[in-house]
Amino acid sequence: MTHPKEETTLIIVKPDAVHRGLVGEVVTRFERKGLKIVGMKMVQLEDALIDAHYAHIKDKPFFGGIKTFMKKSPVIIMALSGIGAVAATRLIVGPTKAYEAPAGTIRGDLSLSTQSNIVHASDSVESAKVEVERFFGSKEILEYKRNDFDFISAEEVF
């Protein structure tokens, strides 16, 4: 059973993180925040899925480079759930331009690039819904309550 304020968001651990052995580090940061993994898989992205996911920049001159980059290796796709999950993941990830990302964020600690910036994170509740459905079938998202949920997501009592 989920909390009424819970959201689900999408994270893609990109090829640079896979090649650099940073998958565990990335997953750990989200779990330590209190987000729960409700879906996770390793996939080799194909053209149609990349085209759909990056449709908003498909006509940009740099799209070909992004497409090539995203096919360099398998990626890890995660659906994360929690109260305010979209905003929480964006905070943990940091700005797209990793060289501008503050220390303590995934991008600020692990990258200097705009393209090779370790992860993709949904940027809104609306896009998260679309992106989770794009990458996961309904039977691939699993619902459960973390044992520590009441301590992580407790409402203020004062």
Return the half-sphere exposure (C-beta side, CA atoms, 13 A cut-off) of residue 67.
Answer: 18
How far apart CA 84 and CA 66 sit, in angstroms, is 29
Please report which residue ranges of 54-105 form alpha helices under DSSP H: 63-70, 85-93
**Cross-sheet strand order for the sheet of 119-121:** 36-43, 75-83, 6-13, 119-121
Catalytic residue among 3, 19, 53, 120: 120
Rg (CA), the chain: 16
Q: Is 120 a catalytic residue?
A: yes
Which residues are part of the catalytic machinery?
A: 120
